Structure 1
Amino acid sequence: MRLNESDWDKQIAALPFGVVLHGERGAVLAANASAATLLGLTAEHLRTGSRPPQWRLHDDTGAAVPAMADLSAQVTRAGSGMTMPLVVTVQGAAIRRLWADLVPDRERLLLILRPVSAEPARAAGLLDPVTGLPHRALLFDRIGQSLARARVHGGQTTLVLADVRGLRAVNQAHGFECGDELLAVLGTRLRAGMRADHTVARYTGGTFAVVAEHARGTGAAVAESVRELAQGRVLVGGGVLRPRLRIGWASSGGDATVHQMVCAAEDRLSH
């Protein structure tokens, strides 16, 4: 049974971490006191969408956090939740650093907030257990750091998303162990084949991500390298598979946000 807003308020009131339920257009439907405290807001601010003077919410690169309606659309497109770093500032000074887990709930978005100081207990969750690669939280952090370097030192940051087509069919025909084995082999192949200073991560499901820095040009060459590395034959479960990939990429000289990079790469992935 689906909970209404008043039921949500009762369920989340005593939780030791922040919880905010957003509607389809970003409006706050339910929230607990912990969320308001972590964000440095009053319950009234949180409910109405108003903000104190000189209060700002940024990602860890200093870019403003997108509207919740935009984040909800991104999570829906990805088909799974995401984690992103947040920095709360007042009068330009950081007062709190948070991890935000965004979880889709049909047409609504559940935002779970935890202080960065609580992260050691969750550190194992920053690496994907199947491939051993960084998961989304670390991926977004690496994209942000790379964009910051591009802004300061020049150069380009490229994000490549490589989606393994037919993974569901592999799971159905051969079992999830074979599907996981396929992902593990592809993750190892990408990590070994890309440059040591590139980040290779598991983005979601059957999609890998690569973050690369280069002096000039677009990300086309990086994307082609990812395709060549991943599409070769793979021995799985005593048989041979040849993965088919969809590739999407985005490049920036540092003026884009993490959110914009991910959206641009996802858009190319879907065409």
Structure 2
Amino acid sequence: MSVLEVAAPSQLAPVWDELISGLTVGVLLTDERGQVLATNDVAAELMQLVKSDLLTGTRPAGWQVRDDTGAPMPDWAELAGQVLRAGSPLSIPMVIARPGQPLSRIWADYHAVQVQGRSRVLMLLQSVHTDVSHSRGLLDPLTGLPGRVLLLDRLEQSLVRARSRGTLSTLVLIDVQRLAAFNAEHGFDRGDDLLTTLAGRLREGLSDEHTVARYGGDEFAVVAEHPNGTGEEIAEQAREVAGWPVRIGRKRVRPGLRVSWVTTDGQASVHSVLARAEQQLQH
């Protein structure tokens, strides 16, 4: 568990105010219910709110916060509880929409902290530029898909939404079999072409609401949310679109694929969902 110790703002109010007012990143300190206890002007500007609105929880008409896929974000209480339960940082891209204003794209880092023996959440907000995902290593450089780190965040968000909304979350893993043998026969460039082709097929052949990611060197992953069912239909759709023959030089090669899937109501942890999907993939 990684928990930071910070002094209480009430004890060091002048120092605290001077410190956070001089920062170029947004800062919010919240309790376990997501109530903002302290903040700075940068955070308010990024959230397209006035500082008093942040502190009181007031939101103007039409104001919305969504993730970078366009899906509504879990409320702050859910995210604060998630961070405090895990005791580890959480990083999430978010988009703030307010009528008549341009979209505000933000990267939010959540940290569990202790203030006078009480659990609190420290949020650091930064404006997102077009290359933020590449600069943070969140996108796979070969396929352009979200990488493993961003996949874990997307899966965590999906589980939170499933718990809060009474829906289901499905993780699908797709393993490209005998990739090493393929590289040995056709060359690594052809192997990269194969992975890039499969990535494009998964991204274009599945719903825009699904997250398609590169999970490992020869594995892809899909995170999907749905109101009911087992997720088997999503897994079969992924198998179908990725399993079409691929032209390699003058040959048409049908990729060998293994597919596993796990569906949960959100009560399972990210790592337990991944472990179950990997175990099923091996069998």
Cα distance between partner residues in 2 of 1:254 and 1:60 = 16
1:269 matches 2:233: no
Return closer, same or farther for 1:92/1:188 CA change in 2, 3 Å cut-off: same
| SS at 2:82 equivalent | coil
What amino acid sits opposite 1:142 in the alignment?
A: R
Ranges in structure 2 where 5+ consecutive residues have no aligned partner: 6-78, 89-108
> Residues 26-73 of structure 1, C-alpha deviation per residue, up to 9 Å, x if partnerless?
9xxxxxxxxxxx8526xxxxxxxxxxxxxxxxx987064499xxxxxx
Aligned to 1:227: 239
CA apart distance, 1:86: 6.8
1:170 matches 2:182: yes
- Paired residue for 1:88, among 101, 106, 112? 112
Cα distance between partner residues in 1 of 2:81 and 2:248 = 40
1:208 matches 2:220: yes
Return closer, same or farther for 1:161/1:60 CA change in 2, 3 Å cut-off: farther
- Write out aligned runs for 1:97-116 (5 A): none
Cα distance between partner residues in 1 of 2:198 and 2:176 = 9
1:62 matches 2:117: no
Cα distance between partner residues in 2 of 1:223 and 1:231 = 12
1:157 matches 2:169: yes
Aligned to 1:136: 148
Q: Please say if residues 61 and 145 of structure 1, whose CA atoms lie closer than 8 Å, have aligned partners that are also in contact.
A: no
> Residues 205-263 of structure 1, C-alpha deviation per residue, up to 9 Å, x if partnerless?
11000001111121211111111111110112342211111111111111111111111
Return closer, same or farther for 1:180/1:60 CA change in 2, 3 Å cut-off: farther
Cα distance between partner residues in 1 of 2:207 and 2:275 = 24
- Paired residue for 2:272, among 260, 263, 266? 260
| SS at 1:160 equivalent | strand
Q: Please say if residues 3 and 113 of structure 2, whose CA atoms lie closer than 8 Å, have aligned partners that are also in contact.
A: no
CA apart distance, 1:204: 0.5
Aligned to 2:133: 123
Aligned to 2:198: 186
Aligned to 2:95: none
Cα distance between partner residues in 2 of 1:130 and 1:253 = 33
What amino acid sits opposite 1:123 in the alignment?
A: S
Cα distance between partner residues in 2 of 1:133 and 1:237 = 25
Cα distance between partner residues in 2 of 1:206 and 1:164 = 5
Aligned to 1:40: 4
| SS at 1:127 equivalent | coil
| SS at 2:221 equivalent | strand
Cα distance between partner residues in 2 of 1:133 and 1:39 = 31
Q: Following superposition, which runs of at least 4 residues in structure 1 exceed 4 angstroms of deviation? A: 119-122
1:145 matches 2:157: yes
| RMSD, matched Cα | 3.1
- Structure number with bigger Rg: 2
Deviates more, 1:123-132 or 1:192-201: 123-132
| SS at 1:92 equivalent | strand
Q: Please say if residues 159 and 212 of structure 1, whose CA atoms lie closer than 8 Å, have aligned partners that are also in contact.
A: yes
What amino acid sits opposite 1:170 in the alignment?
A: F
| SS at 1:216 equivalent | coil
Give the total of aligned pairs: 187
When normalised by structure 2's length, the TM-score is 0.58
Q: Please say if residues 146 and 212 of structure 2, whose CA atoms lie closer than 8 Å, have aligned partners that are also in contact.
A: yes
When normalised by structure 1's length, the TM-score is 0.61
CA apart distance, 1:197: 0.3
Deviates more, 1:228-237 or 1:86-95: 86-95
